[in-house]
Amino acid sequence: MSEPFVALLTARYGVAEGWKLAAAEGAGAYQVARQALTSRQPAELKAEVKKANIRGRGGAGFPAGVKWGFVNPQEGEQVYLVVNADESEPGTFKDRSIMDLDPHRLIEGAIISCFAIGAHVAYIYVRGELAFSAARLEQAIAEARQAGYLGERPFGIEHPIDIYVHSGAGAYICGEETGLLNSLEGRRGEPRLKPPFPAVKGAFGMPTIVNNVETIASIPGIIEMGGDAWAALSRLPGDGGARIYGVSGHVKNPGLFEAPVGITMRELIYEYAGGMLGDRPLKAVIPGGSSTPVLDPQRKVDAPNEDHPLHKWHGQSEIDVPMGVDTYRALGTMLGTCCAIVMDDTVNMVDDCRNLMRFYKHESCGQCTPCREGTGWLADVLDNLCAGRGKPADVDLLVDIANNMMGNTICAFADGTAMPMLGMVQKFRDEFMAAAIRGLPEGVRHDESVRSIVKGSA
Amino acid sequence: MAFALTPEREQQVDDILTRYPERRAALLPVLWLCQRQNGWISPEVVQYVAERLGLSTATVKGVVTFYTMFFDEPVGENIIWVCRTLSCDLRGGKAIQEHLENRLGCTAGHTSSDGKFTLLKAECLAACGQAPMVQINDRYYENLDVDLLDRIIDAHASKGCEAAASEFSSFATFGTPRGSSSAGGVTSTPPAPSAEAVRLASQPPPASPVDTTGEKS
């Protein structure tokens, strides 16, 4: 359609040793931060981010500029920036590439963000498994400090900024922002009740902005281009810019691709990721991490009413709707992290579902009963179905359990379990009934122990 | 016997404490330092950490048991985590696990009889585009097949963790966006981990709370 898209976020991924300051600066790093800190006001920067319409890249899609606007520190309060690098949503692997290949973009984004929201300290919470990424970030931070971009007087201005890396230790729930804050404070990563929201009372009881790695890494591009121009990169209104898409599963060329917001799932699978492995038919795709309800390419968008946000795509396949936070919500799913899991026709959806519910059973923090019991119950019922011990009523039991988890817990984890569960049954009910009657074909019975075995639970 | 950190690591604890407004926030980083040194979080380690940070042992133990990566039992010299979540399973994660179980002579959740490897199943390790994959100690090994896996295990057994990492380990890779201009400089082939990358990983800056060598000296 328009001129070729120029990579922004990933522009330096190909630079030789681009994780080192010299190479990154040679390719333009820190020019935006220098200009922003020395010649612009925090309020202007915040306004640009708001105009950019950047929807949070961590999965919830909340407008980052609006979130920043919630910070209103009282006398004596210290503002914190926390970068959420606890990337662990199944199917999602984008943030790691930023930390490994271009950590200076993240640091530059954090510097600008700290200045804009009035923070002096940023913590980057990296999941424990990514020790390599954490070490690389620390090295990059040390270089930036050495160069005078961090510390008492970054770029010579009177606004001290320091960035610290904080490693988690293996807990999906620490990607939930209040669970993350508890973990940062040295506690069990159990989410907190909201309100108060972190922007009012977050890390150490102080106003805190928690943003995803990709969101923060987008900030230099936004400030450089200006919010309006950056927003215009997108093909959709109200959901600006470009982002990193991931594809895993049964495609020829799995990986990460940077593209404007609003490409379709069909483009992502067939053009970016090279099409289906072995040219087999596409059966289903989980669009943005395992918590987002599955899409069925056979299903058509049903939006005959002209007021419906998806009316433009009425009668087309679900995978022909542009990928945006709002369009996908209207479709009954979520854009999530924008990292798709693609499945061909060899896949049994009951088995897949069991795989994912096992994940949630393992990762539920156990704080709220509906979630702690519900995730385990779902996994157990699915185990029974797969093993041929199920009965038709179990399919409705899955729906019933999921419905009783939704909205009944402190954080969104239970919703993130129940929604994909409901979507699976809604769209592939026949397969669930078949499994309930006959069990699954041979060879799908896995042993169920996961990491927790070390804890003596198995 | 009481546990104590090496003087260098004690220094690191002091440095870590300066990063947070509350002493307790140092708990995770300090537990990491202890586990790097001791291999697992023994009751003596819990005692030490509680005293060092002014917390009760119950508090420390409560945190240790919450997080998957803190071991409250002794483990083998090397830890192999096999990712078994959906993206890896679609690309053969199960075969990888079974091969390791046969090769090591123990099922997931256990340690090989020579004490060299503990095999554990993991939930999503965020390398879905490079499935199937395993994590061995602190490094990722991706796009695996059984042959490659064998060579990786051989290298760990014969040359040690660091040498194996420098030969086989990978970091994040990236595809080619269609229509992206060449000015974007996005690579079509994953950059090979250079010697520098490996050095970086094995020798973190002194201030690092994470010692990435995976050694348990």
- The CATH number assigned to the domain holding A362 equals 1.20.1440.230
| pLDDT higher than 80, residue A168 | yes
Choose the final residue of a domain: A323, A344, A365.
A344
| Cβ-defined contact of A93 to B172 (cutoff 8 Å) | yes
Confidence grade of residue B82 (pLDDT, cut at 50, 70, 90): very high
Q: Could you say which of A93, A96, A128 has the minimum Cβ distance to residue B69?
A: A128
Query: If you search the block for the tokens 């309060």, which residue do you land on?
Result: A77
Q: What single-letter amino acid sits at A228?
A: D
Of residues A206, A197, A199, A163, the one with CA closest to residue A75: A206
Domain containing residue B54: 7-66
Q: Does B196 touch chain A (CB under 8 A)?
A: yes
Of residues B162, B73, B154, B152, the one with CA closest to residue B110: B73
Asked if residue B111 and residue B60 are part of one domain, the reply reads no
Planar angle of CA A95, A97, A103, nearest 5 degrees: 90
Buried/exposed A412-442: b ≥16 CB within 10 Å, e otherwise: bbbbbbbbbbbbbbebbeebbbebbeebbee
CB-based contact B90:B131 (threshold 8 Å): yes
State how far the Cα of B118 lies from the Cα of A449, in Å rounded to an integer.
Answer: 14
| pLDDT higher than 70, residue A411 | yes
Helix (H, G, I), strand (E, B) or coil at A97: helix
Q: Does B89 touch chain A (CB under 8 A)?
A: yes
When pLDDT is averaged across residues A161-178 and rounded to a whole number, the result is 97
State how far the Cα of A259 lies from the Cα of B178, in Å rounded to an integer.
Answer: 8
CB-based contact A180:A86 (threshold 8 Å): yes
DSSP assignment of A157-213 equals -S--BEEEEEE--S-GGGGSHHHHHHHHTTS--PPPPSSSPTTTS-GGGS-EEEEEH
Q: Could you say which of A246, A363, A450 has the minimum Cβ distance to residue B128?
A: A246
A313 DSSP β-pair partners: none
Helix (H, G, I), strand (E, B) or coil at A329: helix
Asked if residue B93 and residue B164 are part of one domain, the reply reads yes
DSSP annotation of B22: S
Is it true that the peptide bond before A198 is cis, omega within 30 degrees of 0?
A: no
Q: Does B72 touch chain A (CB under 8 A)?
A: yes
Confidence grade of residue A426 (pLDDT, cut at 50, 70, 90): very high
Residue B2 lies in a domain: no
A203, two tokens = 């890390």
Phi, psi angle pair for A405, to nearest 5°: -90, -35
Higher local confidence (pLDDT), B193 or A387: A387
| Cβ-defined contact of B174 to A450 (cutoff 8 Å) | no
CB-based contact A449:A455 (threshold 8 Å): no
Q: How far apart are the CA of A52 and the nearest CA of chain B, in angstroms?
A: 21
| Cβ-defined contact of B129 to A246 (cutoff 8 Å) | yes
Most A CBs within 10 Å, among B20, B60, B64, B66, to test the A interface: B66
Asked if residue B62 and residue B82 are part of one domain, the reply reads no
CB-based contact A64:A48 (threshold 8 Å): no
Asked if residue B47 and residue B107 are part of one domain, the reply reads no
State how far the Cα of A296 lies from the Cα of A395, in Å rounded to an integer.
Answer: 19
Asked if residue A158 and residue A26 are part of one domain, the reply reads yes
Helix (H, G, I), strand (E, B) or coil at A341: strand
When pLDDT is averaged across residues A403-425 and rounded to a whole number, the result is 97
State how far the Cα of B73 lies from the Cα of B40, in Å rounded to an integer.
Answer: 6
Query: What's B91's domain CATH number?
Result: 3.40.30.10
Query: If you search the block for the tokens 């990296």, which residue do you land on?
Result: A126
* DSSP H or E run through A315: none
Q: Could you say which of A17, A162, A455 has the minimum Cβ distance to residue B194?
A: A17
Strand-strand pairing, B117-122 and A79-85 = unpaired
Kindly list the residues from chain A whose CB atom is less than 8 angstroms away from the CB atom of residue B28: 166-169, 183, 186
Asked if residue A91 and residue A42 are part of one domain, the reply reads yes
Q: Could you say which of A16, A169, A257 has the minimum Cβ distance to residue B67?
A: A169
Asked if residue A248 and residue A137 are part of one domain, the reply reads no
Asked if residue B196 and residue B143 are part of one domain, the reply reads yes
Q: What single-letter amino acid sits at A309?
A: P
Strand-strand pairing, A282-286 and B110-111 = unpaired
A260, two tokens = 């404007």
Residue B54 lies in a domain: yes
Query: If you search the block for the tokens 């770029």, which residue do you land on?
Result: A155
Q: Does B164 touch chain A (CB under 8 A)?
A: no
Asked if residue A407 and residue A299 are part of one domain, the reply reads no
The rounded mean pLDDT for chain A is 94
State how far the Cα of A288 lies from the Cα of A337, in Å rounded to an integer.
Answer: 5
Q: Does B58 touch chain A (CB under 8 A)?
A: no
| Cβ-defined contact of B26 to A455 (cutoff 8 Å) | no
Q: What pLDDT was estimated at residue B172?
A: 59
Q: What pLDDT was estimated at residue A406?
A: 96
Kindly list the residues from chain A whose CB atom is less than 8 angstroms away from the CB atom of residue B169: 132
Q: What pLDDT was estimated at residue B74?
A: 96
pLDDT digits (tens, 9 = 90+) for A101-121: 999 999 999 999 999 999 999
| pLDDT higher than 80, residue A444 | no
Of residues A340, A289, A298, the one with CA closest to residue A320: A298
Q: What pLDDT was estimated at residue A5?
A: 84
Residue ranges of B 4-33 with Cβ closer than 8 A to chain A: 19-22, 24-29, 31-32
State how far the Cα of B135 lies from the Cα of A36, in Å rounded to an integer.
Answer: 40
| pLDDT higher than 90, residue B200 | no
Handedness of CA B50, B51, B54, B56 (dihedral sign): positive
Most B CBs within 10 Å, among A6, A17, A129, to test the B interface: A129
Total domain count for chain A? 3
Residue in chain A closest to B95 (alpha carbons) equals A446
Strand-strand pairing, A282-286 and A339-344 = antiparallel
State how far the Cα of A394 lies from the Cα of A208, in Å rounded to an integer.
Answer: 44
When pLDDT is averaged across residues B12-32 and rounded to a whole number, the result is 98
Residue A85 lies in a domain: yes
Of residues A129, A107, A112, the one with CA closest to residue A19: A107
Kindly list the residues from chain A whose CB atom is less than 8 angstroms away from the CB atom of residue B174: 10, 13, 97, 101, 255-256
Question: Is the confidence metric ipTM above 0.90 for this complex?
Answer: yes
Q: What pLDDT was estimated at residue B34?
A: 98
DSSP annotation of B217: -
| pLDDT higher than 60, residue A341 | yes
Asked if residue B142 and residue B35 are part of one domain, the reply reads no
Kindly list the residues from chain A whose CB atom is less than 8 angstroms away from the CB atom of residue B210: 131, 134-135, 138, 165, 167
| Cβ-defined contact of B86 to A271 (cutoff 8 Å) | no
| Cβ-defined contact of A90 to B180 (cutoff 8 Å) | no
Total domain count for chain B? 2
Q: Whole-model pTM? A: 0.91
Asked if residue A272 and residue A246 are part of one domain, the reply reads yes
Strand-strand pairing, B134-136 and B139-141 = antiparallel
| Cβ-defined contact of B174 to A135 (cutoff 8 Å) | no
pLDDT digits (tens, 9 = 90+) for B157-174: 999 999 999 899 876 555
Higher local confidence (pLDDT), A80 or B201: A80
When pLDDT is averaged across residues A383-410 and rounded to a whole number, the result is 95
CB-based contact A203:A192 (threshold 8 Å): no
Of residues A363, A447, A446, A451, the one with CA closest to residue B110: A451
CB pairs under 8 A between A and B: 298
Choose the final residue of a domain: A191, A209, A231.
A231
CB within 8 A of A75, min separation 6: which ones?
A: none
When pLDDT is averaged across residues B168-187 and rounded to a whole number, the result is 47
A140, two tokens = 């990059």
Asked if residue B62 and residue B17 are part of one domain, the reply reads yes
| Cβ-defined contact of B185 to A11 (cutoff 8 Å) | yes
| Cβ-defined contact of A4 to B75 (cutoff 8 Å) | no
Residue in chain B closest to A447 (alpha carbons) equals B108
| Cβ-defined contact of B177 to A133 (cutoff 8 Å) | no
Q: What pLDDT was estimated at residue A441?
A: 74
DSSP annotation of B115: S
Residue A450 lies in a domain: no
Residue B210 lies in a domain: no
Asked if residue B191 and residue B93 are part of one domain, the reply reads yes
Kindly list the residues from chain B whose CB atom is less than 8 angstroms away from the CB atom of residue A271: 178
Asked if residue B100 and residue B41 are part of one domain, the reply reads no
CB-based contact A83:A130 (threshold 8 Å): no
CB-based contact B68:A170 (threshold 8 Å): yes
| pLDDT higher than 80, residue B205 | no
Q: How far apart are the CA of A44 and the nearest CA of chain B, in angstroms?
A: 28
Q: What pLDDT was estimated at residue B192?
A: 37
Asked if residue B104 and residue B193 are part of one domain, the reply reads yes
Choose the final residue of a domain: A196, A212, A231.
A231
Strand order of the β-sheet with A162-167 is A162-167, A119-126, A79-85, A208-212
| pLDDT higher than 90, residue A340 | yes
State how far the Cα of A174 lies from the Cα of B14, in Å rounded to an integer.
Answer: 25
DSSP annotation of B130: G
| Cβ-defined contact of B63 to A134 (cutoff 8 Å) | no
In Å, how far are A59, A94, A276, B20 from A293, measured between CA atoms? Answer: 13, 20, 21, 39
Asked if residue A438 and residue A305 are part of one domain, the reply reads no
Q: What single-letter amino acid sits at B40?
A: W
Confidence grade of residue A3 (pLDDT, cut at 50, 70, 90): low
pLDDT digits (tens, 9 = 90+) for A21-77: 999 999 999 999 999 999 999 999 999 999 999 999 999 999 999 999 999 999 999
Asked if residue A213 and residue A279 are part of one domain, the reply reads no
* DSSP H or E run through A347: none
| pLDDT higher than 60, residue B175 | no
Query: What's A333's domain CATH number?
Result: 3.10.20.600
Q: Could you say which of A20, A168, A454 has the minimum Cβ distance to residue B120?
A: A454
State how far the Cα of A228 lies from the Cα of A220, in Å rounded to an integer.
Answer: 14
Most B CBs within 10 Å, among A6, A100, A132, A184, to test the B interface: A132
Of residues A246, A80, A280, the one with CA closest to residue A166: A80
Domain containing residue A376: 349-443
Query: What's A41's domain CATH number?
Result: 3.40.50.11540
B48, two tokens = 């030490």
When pLDDT is averaged across residues B13-31 and rounded to a whole number, the result is 98
Q: What pLDDT was estimated at residue A182?
A: 98
Query: If you search the block for the tokens 């060879």, which residue do you land on?
Result: A443
Q: What pLDDT was estimated at residue A4?
A: 74
CB-based contact B190:A110 (threshold 8 Å): no
CB-based contact A83:A126 (threshold 8 Å): no
Kindly list the residues from chain B whose CB atom is less than 8 angstroms away from the CB atom of residue A261: none
CB-based contact A356:A420 (threshold 8 Å): yes
Kindly list the residues from chain A whose CB atom is less than 8 angstroms away from the CB atom of residue B187: 13-14
Q: How far apart are the CA of A4 and the nearest CA of chain B, in angstroms?
A: 5
Strand-strand pairing, A79-85 and A119-126 = parallel
Q: If phi over 0 gives left and psi between -120 and 50 gives alpha, with beta otherwise, what is residue A333?
A: beta
Q: What single-letter amino acid sits at B22?
A: E
| Cβ-defined contact of B87 to A187 (cutoff 8 Å) | no
| Cβ-defined contact of A204 to B20 (cutoff 8 Å) | yes
Kindly list the residues from chain B whose CB atom is less than 8 angstroms away from the CB atom of residue A255: 129-130, 173-175
Q: Does B206 touch chain A (CB under 8 A)?
A: no
When pLDDT is averaged across residues A430-458 and rounded to a whole number, the result is 60
CB-based contact A413:A364 (threshold 8 Å): yes
